[in-house]
Amino acid sequence: MARFRRGAAVVGGGALLPGGLVLTCAHVVNAALDRPPEAAERPREPVEVDFPLQDVDGGSGLVVAWCPLVERTGDVAVIELAGDDVADLREMAPVERGVASDEELAIFGFPHRHPAGVWKRQLRMAGPMPGGWEQLTAVGRDYKLQAGFSGCPIFDAGGQLVGIFAQDEQAPDVDAGLQIPLTIAVAALVASDGIALQLAPPEQARREPAAECSASAVRGALPTIWNVPQVRNRNFTGRKEELSALASALRSEHVVALTGLGGIGKTQVPR
């Protein structure tokens, strides 16, 4: 899970997706860059991000998809991380599925006075809101659903990523929030930038209680086959021989694998 700061203050989190992409709320990016929550212009400067659950202290990326917050709609951003520092990070596969009102959900985020992050469990859907967002209610009273949870991934009982949390209230006693379902987030990005993140079909429902949801459960949530939502690097050139060999192989084989050391351009070749 990603964490965003403004100076020493944590302003929210995000979900690390395949391809070195971080899905979060637009207002979290604005807060990290010391901009107003509803600033509409796409940020051009790098955004600093780290990954406390995996002991990765620093990194940065550029906003590649942007749908700003407008009266509780939009509020979605995708950041493409720079460099090869994310090669060993654990990614999450976004899943296309609805959440029933009686399901228990879990979230890892950064409430008041907890910059290292905490798990909050026993969340349930309270009902739909205008624009397709959904209100969340907390059954347990361990940590309040405050602004530091904004942009953080929401998991079902099987550890599957089903949405991101949206909360721009700064008061430390606030204990409420909204979920942006992944289908709504993807639709917003398509409408604003034409960029479509691939949602994996849901796995067969697993019935572990939400209390069992952990980093290991998240790692186990990847489906056997899934599509990597990789943003194309339009500055990528060369590899004509490799592309020709790949095209030739695909004419006779159903599956072709590219192998080699990290950082030599394997990911971009098929793009």
Query: DSSP assignment of 173-208, as one string?
Result: T---EEEEEHHHHHHHHHHHH---PPPBPPPSPP--
Tell me the C-alpha to C-alpha distance, in Å, between residue 30 and each of 14, 47, 76, 192.
13, 9, 11, 17
pLDDT, one tens digit per residue, over 8-35 is 899 999 999 888 899 999 999 999 999 9
214: pLDDT strictly greater than 60: no
pLDDT, one tens digit per residue, over 35-69 is 998 899 999 999 999 998 887 777 899 999 999 98
Give residue 95's pLDDT: 80
Q: Which residues contact 136 (CB under 8 A, 6 or more apart)?
A: 105, 123, 124, 125, 126, 145, 154, 165, 176, 177, 178, 179
Give residue 3's pLDDT: 95
pLDDT, one tens digit per residue, over 113-169 is 899 999 998 888 888 888 889 988 887 777 888 888 999 999 988 888 999 999 866
Give residue 250's pLDDT: 67
Find residue 229's DSSP bridge partners.
Answer: none
Q: How far is 36 from 60, CA to CA, in rounded Å?
A: 20
